[in-house]
Amino acid sequence: MERRKFLFRSVQASALLLISGNMFASALPMFNPKKKKKVYFHYLLFWLRKDLSGPEVKEFENFFEGLKKLPYQKNLRYGKPAASSPRSVLDSTFTYNASMEFDSLEELEAYGKLPEHLALVQKYKPFFERMLVYDTVYN
């Protein structure tokens, strides 16, 4: 009988420790919450002039290659529209798009003011007739 009481109390104590440990662990984020890092994306769309030659269109890619070398931006990727099946919500009219990440809004805005950035934009602006920019923040 004593052995049963001992085992029963041991099981009770173990259960209590397990429950209180889980409660403590679930309360930890309240005391030390992990802050989600915001990520800023800069997304660009370009419509090149229709009268550009094939080599001029290819030359435009040097714009993106130049942007890749600038500080603040990360993961610059660029491309052309995919050959997706047409749908009413799909816009494939652009010639090139590009996206890049920034760690903060301040860095994104500082990037836009860099003399090297402004010089590249000025150099390649004659290549396109339209450009759209979308800046987005993800939590």
Per residue in 2-27, pLDDT (tens digit) is 666 555 565 565 555 455 555 555 55
Instruction: Tell whether pTM > 0.85.
Output: no
Per residue in 33-54, pLDDT (tens digit) is 667 789 999 999 999 999 999 9
**CB contact at 8 A, 40 and 102:** yes
The class of domain 39-138 in CATH terms is alpha beta
Residue 81: count other Cβ atoms within 10 Å of its Cβ: 14
Using the Cα atoms of residue 76, residue 78, residue 83 and residue 89 in order, give the sign of their dihedral.
Answer: positive
**CB contact at 8 A, 122 and 73:** no
Per domain, the residue ranges of the chain are 1-34, 39-138
Write the DSSP string, 80-112: ----PPP-TT-----SEEEEEEES-HHHHHHHH
Q: CA separation (Å) from 105 to 5, 41, 137?
A: 64, 9, 8
